[in-house]
Homo-oligomer: A and B are copies of this chain.
Amino acid sequence: MPDPNEQTRIDMHAARSQSTIHMDAVRDYLYDGRTEWDSHVKVVETMKHDPVFDKSQRLFMTRSDRYKRGLTMTNRIYELSQLHGWTTKQNTEAISLLDEGVPMNLHSLAFEPVIMSQGSPALISEYGKLIASRGILGSYLQTELGHGTNVSQLETTATYVPATDEFVINSPSVTSTKWWIGALGRTATHGVVQAKLILPSVGGKEQDMGPHLFFVQLRSLDDHKVLPGIKIGDIGPKAMGGMASVDNGFARFDHVRIPRDHMLSKFAQVTPEGKYVQPPHAKLSYGGMLYIRSSMVTSAGWTLAKGATISIRYGTVRRQGNKNKSSGLESQTITYPSVHYRLLPILAHAYVFIQLGRNLTKAFAHMTTRLASGDTSLLAEMHATTSGLKVLITSTSIQDLEVARRSMGGHGYSGFAGLGRIYAEYLPAATYEGDNFVLDQQVVRAALKSYSNLMSAKSPSTDILSPSSYYLRLLLPCSKPTVQLTNGLWKDYSVAISLLEQRAALMVQDLAGHSKSADANVNQRVSKAVTEAFVAAQVGLMIQALPLGDTDNRVIRDLYRLYLLTTLESSLLDFLSFKIIVPTTDGADPVRSLRAEIAGLCLDLLPNAIGLTDAFGFTDWELDSALGVQDGAVYDALWEKAQTEPLNREEVTSGYSDHIKPMLERGQRLAGSKL
């Protein structure tokens, strides 16, 4: 009988050998080409041996040390960047290789895009270069202690004083304290502050123009001290140790003065006399938020790629339970249907989200070009798409990360498994950039609007439907769906897409007819249906566009089919309650056949599970998981990791004499016996 520890390497090797896909080709597909992969490898190779980026101690550090480590790494990245001439994309990649939020993220994701898209030419000419080269470090101060979702009720004020041509930024109450602001607590030198613009009274009453954005210096560039009139601090640790390296902070302003041209005034403006100049389009300022949301799709994909890699690798080498008759070995846990049914869909989600993110980034770039020339026509569509996707991909990813962790049994709960850390870090994605439950309402509102536009059109046709509402065409009389629930039905991916679109259409129609008697959860259900229909159609396009050789295309097509079929399965209730799926005439049960098809598809995919995860191209340094090690030697990895636990440094714990000994002695006295 082979030693279980040795067996892990053998199993991992065997799993690699049985893979039929061309790992390199699939990897290039995931990275969008060999050039991108090569550029990625260069960054990884530079970083992974640099002691600054050592990940082995972070689980033992206090938050203060984690924060400082975050700074050290960020500074080192820009040092290396200069040394090696990295591109902006490579810089971004380097930051994301850290595998944890750092203050710099806010500069790049929020501060810089907002200023570049909404700052006046004057402001950009003064600060643009500095911002791009990080000569100043920024943060984005919108949320307050008392208000997050409801931006219209922010309490911070920016009162214009014509006499000095300045705004006075002020925090009038406890709840007006800016809160949650990334990089604010200890790092940022500057910030974009959202505040109610107050203009001089016309007829005795000050005019409240609602929230606007202001560029404010927060700390001295000489000694980093907080500037007078401002109180700043870190808001404290986050749940489950997540985002430990980011200094989310609070700030109160006590009548802080800034020059008039520090209002971000590309669109709305204030004249020296204090007159308000309206922006040309109410939603012009949405651009920045949409950028973050579309980048979230890509990062969700790569986050799940990690979850899938770690859990599928572990499931491949963990043997537990039923013994195989011929080999005498216990089964690899991944071979249990109840295990791979949990994990393979995660792999599918990762592949789909990565491609989806790529398409979205392209669409975003396209929109930005059009916006620059004053064309706002793509904005509403982009808004609808990214809202729904943000909800879907964050909810899915959070759930998947936990499913992956839990699939690994006890060892999945070890800090060294890595998935707990990734989960805690990823978790707030359900909340920031728009709380998911609030976004659901917006998705539904947009869907109902498209529906009523279609229905009230003189001659309703597909012409007035954008991609995000294209599923509504199925309500047009001409295009009755013709899904025949025959045998072999589930093999045809277009059937799944068509069903998912039909479901969205019927649910929107139903809600439009019953909006008065809507139940508490209806927005969540309808939003999900609408976005899943959109994604399904996108997946259809991905399948059609598969660029690889036959073998590889077939495997990835199966993976995409698994995406579609498990999406269907998870919404079977809608299909039955809307009678979209009904028993076939021969009496066969479509619910049963769908589940059987999924079970079979999982078995088909199983031999390529390791190949498909290898294709993500992660090094052990990137994964930082004892259970996800490349060579499969998980027991050696866990053992070695355990030896590094600081508690193990003392032979006898220093708590012994003060706490354990008295307890034992008291107990022995009570028992009337001394051992």
Interface residues of A (CB under 8 A from B): 3-5, 59-64, 67-68, 71-72, 74-75, 78-79, 82, 129-130, 132-137, 143, 145-150, 153, 155, 173-175, 177, 179-180, 185-187, 189, 221, 223-226, 233-242, 247, 250, 320-321, 330, 337-341, 405-406, 409-410, 412-417, 419-421, 423-424, 427-428, 430-432, 435, 437, 440, 514, 517, 519-524, 572-573, 576-577, 589, 591-592, 595-596, 598-599, 602, 635-636, 638-639, 641-648, 651-656, 658-664, 666-673, 675
Residues of chain B within 8 A of A179, CB atoms compared: 410, 638
Contact indicator B78/A419 (Cβ below 8 Å) = no
- The CB with the most chain B CB atoms within 10 A, among A136, A410, A595, A675, is that of A410
Looking at the complex, which one of B60, B592, B639, B647 makes contact with A67 (CB distance below 8 Å)? B647
Residues of chain B within 8 A of A519, CB atoms compared: 337, 592, 595-596, 598-599
Residues of chain B within 8 A of A437, CB atoms compared: 338-339
Contact indicator B655/A71 (Cβ below 8 Å) = yes
* Distance of A63 Cα from B405 Cα, bound (Å): 22
A599 shortest CB reach to chain B, Å: 5
Given known A59-B236, A239-B413, contact A137–B660 (CB-CB < 8 A): yes
* Distance of A658 Cα from B75 Cα, bound (Å): 9
Given known A174-B636, A239-B412, A421-B240, contact A646–B64 (CB-CB < 8 A): yes
17 contacts between A and B (CB under 8 A): A59-B236, A71-B655, A74-B663, A130-B675, A135-B667, A189-B664, A235-B414, A235-B645, A239-B415, A240-B423, A337-B520, A338-B440, A340-B520, A406-B430, A412-B431, A517-B596, A520-B599
Looking at the complex, which one of B234, B240, B577 makes contact with A576 (CB distance below 8 Å)? B577
Contact indicator A135/B670 (Cβ below 8 Å) = yes
Looking at the complex, which one of B186, B236, B238, B417 makes contact with A644 (CB distance below 8 Å)? B236
Contact indicator A341/B520 (Cβ below 8 Å) = yes
Contact indicator A428/B413 (Cβ below 8 Å) = yes
- The CB with the most chain B CB atoms within 10 A, among A135, A147, A189, is that of A135
* Distance of A602 Cα from B635 Cα, bound (Å): 50
SS class of chain A's interface: helix, strand, loop or mixed?
helix
Contact indicator A130/B235 (Cβ below 8 Å) = no
* Distance of A251 Cα from B200 Cα, bound (Å): 74
Residues of chain B within 8 A of A639, CB atoms compared: 145, 174, 177, 250
Contact indicator B642/A153 (Cβ below 8 Å) = no
Residues of chain B within 8 A of A72, CB atoms compared: 655, 658-659
* Distance of A440 Cα from B406 Cα, bound (Å): 15
Looking at the complex, which one of B68, B132, B320, B576 makes contact with A573 (CB distance below 8 Å)? B576
Given known A250-B642, A320-B148, contact A431–B416 (CB-CB < 8 A): no
Residues of chain B within 8 A of A143, CB atoms compared: 410
Contact indicator B239/A5 (Cβ below 8 Å) = no
Looking at the complex, which one of B133, B602, B672 makes contact with A520 (CB distance below 8 Å)? B602
A369 shortest CB reach to chain B, Å: 26
Residues of chain B within 8 A of A234, CB atoms compared: 642, 645, 647-648
* Distance of A108 Cα from B424 Cα, bound (Å): 31
Closest residue to A322 on the B side, CB-wise?
B150
Closest residue to A425 on the B side, CB-wise?
B240
Residues of chain B within 8 A of A133, CB atoms compared: 666-668, 670-671
* Distance of A602 Cα from B520 Cα, bound (Å): 9
